[in-house]
Amino acid sequence: MASLTGGLSCHPLHRSFSGSMIAVATDSRLAEIAAKVDAEERLTFEDGLYLDEQADLLTLGRLANQVRQRKNGRYAFYNTNIHLNPTNVCVYRCTFCAFRSDLKAEKGYVFSDDMIRERVLEAKEQGATEIHVVGGLHHLKNFDWYINVIRVIHETWPEIHIKAWTGVEIQWFGHLTKKPYDWVLQQMMDVGLGSMPGGGAEIFDEEVRSQICEHKADSQRWLDIHRAAHDLGLRTNATMLYGHVEEARHRVDHLCRLRELQDDTNGFQTFIPLAFHPENTGLSHLPKPSGQMDLRMIALSRLMLDNFDHIKAYWIMLGEKTAQVALGFGADDLDGTVVHELIYHDAGAKTPEGLTVPQLHRLIQEAGCEPIERDTLYRRVIRDGAKWTIGEPVC
């Protein structure tokens, strides 16, 4: 998207820089990278590693904000969405996960069709345009059960966009059916699936994955599944879980692998850096990522992922204040109202389980940006009282 601002900064923190190179004048390596950013040249793995390990936070933020301004101007996006986690029973035991449950555990649950319908009707009442569906891999539920979740949602309210099933879940469905990923995805699309979230990517490096999610779908399967989705015309998101046992080289490698797939398919819509929440997990001895690290990951992502239109500051994980500041460090999207989010709250997130549209507007406007309601596919949502229609793409 072309700049909409004539060079104005979206965030007051960066206005004092005025596009100058003052902050990097004494660092020749950083000055070289800044020149690449100015010239819209692709950064290398080595550039990314240097930025992650060496660049000061404000310079990193200024460079990322420069890219953000070029792509999205003063716009900051949000959507009106609701979450559905149809079960927390899961065959996997990922070290970082506080959401999962054993089959007979007291906290275990499974949604019935009536419960799903109730959630969808709640979404309709709230004017949501999206329902976000992810959950556990229940080893006693067959593929038809998961198909039925999507079918029930779509039949209850055909207008709502269904964003469902991570790459890990699609891999599990392939395991259940012994069918290729494109077949699995097509079955889901036939009953109403509209797009895929980006969860399950964690960190692509297999040594790290062996420590935090040993039996989960490996990185190549995750990438293959998203490639298959893109080939079918299904748009997807991408994520990275940071702040646990990984190092800078793992984070930059992760971003480079996503960028390579996006070069091939252009099927990713947005990237969401996810801050690890250690509470109630097998890694509870680790400290939570700092606010500085959160902002660094937003900025690094914006600089490395030159072929992604959007970087999301997921307020549920970051907290409202950090997410607001992230709009000046490369992010252009806060996610949405996010009603009934469970996965990160089970891991200790202290944020509310939902924000109102006026609250989202306030966060965005205080950051010096213009709030734009979008649907899942980044088309403008036009409201007329309780009714809404979908307008033109906003980028």
Tell me if the pTM is above 0.85. yes
83 and 19 inside one domain = no
101 within domain boundaries: yes
How is 347-382 classified by DSSP, letter by letter? TT--S-S---HHHHHHHHHHTT-EEEEB-TTSEEEE
7 within domain boundaries: no
35 and 102 inside one domain = no
Q: Are β-strands 130-133 and 161-164 bridged in parallel, bridged antiparallel, or unpaired?
A: parallel
Considering only CA atoms, which of 29, 18, 23 is closest in space to residue 58?
23
Which of these three, 26, 54, 72, is where a domain ends?
72
196 and 68 inside one domain = no
51 and 92 inside one domain = no
Which of these three, 72, 87, 118, is where a domain ends?
72
141 and 34 inside one domain = no
1 within domain boundaries: no
237 and 385 inside one domain = yes
Q: Are β-strands 161-164 and 193-195 bridged in parallel, bridged antiparallel, or unpaired?
A: parallel
309/395 Cα distance (integer angstroms) = 8
Which of these three, 72, 99, 117, is where a domain ends?
72
For residues 330 and 299, the answer to whether their CB atoms sit within 8 Å is yes
Considering only CA atoms, which of 278, 285, 341, 286 is closest in space to residue 314?
341
Structure tokens at 203: 């960190």
341/193 Cα distance (integer angstroms) = 20
At 116, which CATH number? 3.20.20.70
89 within domain boundaries: yes
93 and 29 inside one domain = no
The three-class DSSP label of residue 136 is: coil
Give the structural domain span for 16. Answer: 12-72
CA dist 149 to 115, 169, 181, Å? 10, 13, 18
Count of domains for the chain: 2
30/58 Cα distance (integer angstroms) = 12
59 and 190 inside one domain = no
What are the pLDDT tens digits along the chain (395 aa)? 443 333 335 555 554 444 444 444 458 999 999 999 999 999 999 999 999 999 999 999 999 999 999 999 999 999 998 889 998 888 766 665 666 676 777 788 899 999 999 999 998 988 899 999 998 888 889 999 999 999 999 999 999 999 999 999 999 999 999 999 999 999 999 999 999 999 989 899 989 888 877 677 789 999 999 999 999 999 999 999 998 889 999 999 999 999 999 999 999 999 999 988 777 677 778 888 899 999 999 999 999 999 999 999 988 888 899 999 999 999 999 988 865 434 433 444 444 456 888 888 999 999 999 999 999 999 999 988 778 899 988 86
62 and 100 inside one domain = no
Q: How far is CA 155 from the centre of its chain?
A: 27
Which residue is associated with the tokens 């500051």? 313
> What value, to the nearest 5°, has the Cα angle with vertex 336 and ends 146 and 384?
105
Structure tokens at 167: 């790459």
229 within domain boundaries: yes
For residues 185 and 173, the answer to whether their CB atoms sit within 8 Å is no
173 and 284 inside one domain = yes
How many other CB atoms sit within 10 Å of the CB of residue 151?
18
3 within domain boundaries: no
251 and 335 inside one domain = yes
54 and 116 inside one domain = no
2 within domain boundaries: no
For residues 301 and 63, the answer to whether their CB atoms sit within 8 Å is no
127/387 Cα distance (integer angstroms) = 8
67 within domain boundaries: yes
For residues 228 and 270, the answer to whether their CB atoms sit within 8 Å is no
